[in-house]
Structure 1
Amino acid sequence: MKFLLSNDDGYFAPGLAALAAALQTQGQIEVVAPERDRSGASNSLTLDRPLSLKRAPSGFHYVNGTPTDCVHLAVTGMLATPPDWVFSGINHGANMGDDTIYSGTVAAATEAYLLGIPAVAISLVKRSGGHFDTAAQVALDLVERLRREPIRGAVLLNVNVPDLPYAELKGWRVTRLGRRHKAEPVIKAQNPRGESIYWVGPVGEAQDAAEDTDFWAVANGYVSVTPLQIDLTAFKQLDFLSSWLQA
């Protein structure tokens, strides 16, 4: 199998190194990741300047752009043939619920999906980031399952792994995205010139963490696997809007 790896934490991130070390035992890998931390970049493309592609001593390629840029550049310009799968991660922190909208990790996988390549975004759910080896083993487990029973058709999986030793994981749960309360207010401060500056506040607590959600699964020691889709159409409103516009 041929894998393309990316992330949003940067090509130097320990999670990406752990993922690459694991998946290189399963086939050919290419790594194309941002040159710096681009967490929260979502699905943005860089259109106001050219992109550069460079190779680090590790053999990883890095791009002066977003996670979406990295996958787009790799698939449409760098690689002679497309990869079989794209893995994005291992992210340092959760990508659950509403976070997926902002996540550069999920965005890299989404770009692959839009280009017709099945993709997995994988995240370690704790800021301490202690057990990247667990998340790497989860990635290997997924690859083993893919070899045993390939998934056919378009697929985009969002995987969140508890920050636990692998032996302490309780298993797997197929989940839906939960929902958070609104984010905390921005944090106001002053720069050395006395000017007001603002930091985006922390995310809110989970509002919808029912037993079928990603929040519940991870909090209870399970690996959460959420299938994602890209169609944003609000189908329930189509009939209402048609009547409303004709009134």
Structure 2
Amino acid sequence: MRLLVVNDDGPPSTVSPYFAPFINALNEAGHTTVVVIPDRPLSWIGKAHAVGKTLTAASRCPASFSDKSCAIPGCDETEDRTHRWLVVDGLPASCTQIGLFHAGFNPSDFDLVVSGPNHGRNASTVYSLSSGTVGGAMEAAQCGRRAVALSFGSKEVQPDHVIHAACQRSVALIGDLVRDWHPDVDVYSVNVPMVADIAERPVSYTTTARGRWISGGLFSPVPVDPEKLALSRTYQFRWAPQLADIKRQAEESPEGEDLWASVNGVISVAPLRASFTSVDVHK
């Protein structure tokens, strides 16, 4: 298959540790990959675009993000988009747009758009509605292309063999989803637990748990001197997600939800439509 691959964690780094191994796994499986990614981590950005901003896309050899030399002869003289990545100073959904319309291909040239693998899970609406990974996939659906949002459920440093196994299992699962794609599905959101025996872990179709911020949210106030506050009348709030509610909801999540799968070592596949589903209030 020819795949457009985007993400929200940016180029390979300590905060984007799964991307390069995943691209290698796709290529080793015989797929053709076109990579368009943000130039920096942009989590929690959803499906946003920077309105009015002129975006810059740098053509980069993947080897430039590692300590290895490129094995492709004449790499510096070519603009082979199936080898060189486009690294964009824009948001994940914008990378999807650029990849589909401005990377030398038409949207119909791609069999699938894959967004990810995210560095951490995207289970429950608290995460998935804010996720740049899911947003990149939803943008593809809005452009008429099928998409998979792939998330690896761990922020902890993982050994190479676990990352390799997760990539291999994900590539195989993506192939299965494409072969049996349900006509009513726009995006499959897949969460893969990072465990040593991932090759043997079951796969379950799930719903997306309805997560809520209840006793705490994403921000905490920055302490300020009362006298300074009286003069400035300005307030600051630091990024400090309070996850107690989310952890409790995960522990209480019933079987069949993606949160339940994430705490039970099950690979979850949530079939999604790219729409805000209407509620019939007249029933």
TM range (shorter): 0.7 to 0.9
Could you say what secondary structure the match of 1:102 adopts?
coil
Q: Which residue of 1 aligns with 2:81?
A: none
Mapping of residues 142-157 of structure 1, within 5 Å: 142-146=173-177, 149-151=179-181, 153=183, 155-157=186-188
Per-residue CA distance 1:16-71 (angstroms, 9 max, x = gap): 11211111122210110001111011010122211111122313211111000000
Per-residue CA distance 1:109-152 (angstroms, 9 max, x = gap): 111111111111111112114143233122221244257x3426
What is the aligned counterpart of 1:139 among 170, 186, 193? 170
In 2, Cα distance between the equivalents of 1:79 and 1:15? Answer: 26
Per-residue CA distance 1:56-94 (angstroms, 9 max, x = gap): 231321111100000011102223233111111111111
Contact 1:129 1:163 in 2 (8 A): no
What is the aligned counterpart of 1:96 among 116, 123, 126? 123
Q: Which runs of 5+ in 1 are unaligned?
A: 241-247
TM-aligned CA distance change 1:168 to 1:70, over 3 Å: closer
Mapping of residues 80-229 of structure 1, within 5 Å: 80-82=105-107, 83-98=110-125, 99-130=127-158, 131-146=162-177, 149-151=179-181, 153=183, 155-167=186-198, 169-182=200-213, 184-185=216-217, 186-189=219-222, 196-202=235-241, 203=243, 204-205=245-246, 206-207=248-249, 209-229=253-273
Per-residue CA distance 1:157-192 (angstroms, 9 max, x = gap): 00001110145643101000113241624222259x
In 1, Cα distance between the equivalents of 2:259 and 2:59? Answer: 37
Q: Larger % of strand: which?
A: 1
In 2, Cα distance between the equivalents of 1:21 and 1:150? Answer: 24
TM-score by structure 1 length? 0.87
| Structure 1 stretch displaced more, 116-125 or 73-82 | 73-82
TM-aligned CA distance change 1:24 to 1:221, over 3 Å: same
> 1:209 Cα shift?
0.9
Which amino acid counterpart does residue 70 of structure 1 have in structure 2? C
What stretches of structure 1 move > 6 A for 4+ residues in a row?
none
In 2, Cα distance between the equivalents of 1:102 and 1:66? Answer: 13
In 2, Cα distance between the equivalents of 1:168 and 1:4? Answer: 25
Could you say what secondary structure the match of 2:22 adopts?
helix
1:30 aligns with 2:58: no
Identity value in percent: 27
Q: Which residue of 2 aligns with 1:18?
A: 21
TM-aligned CA distance change 1:233 to 1:151, over 3 Å: closer
- Aligned length in residues: 237
Q: Which runs of 5+ in 2 are unaligned?
A: 63-83
Could you say what secondary structure the match of 1:78 adopts?
coil
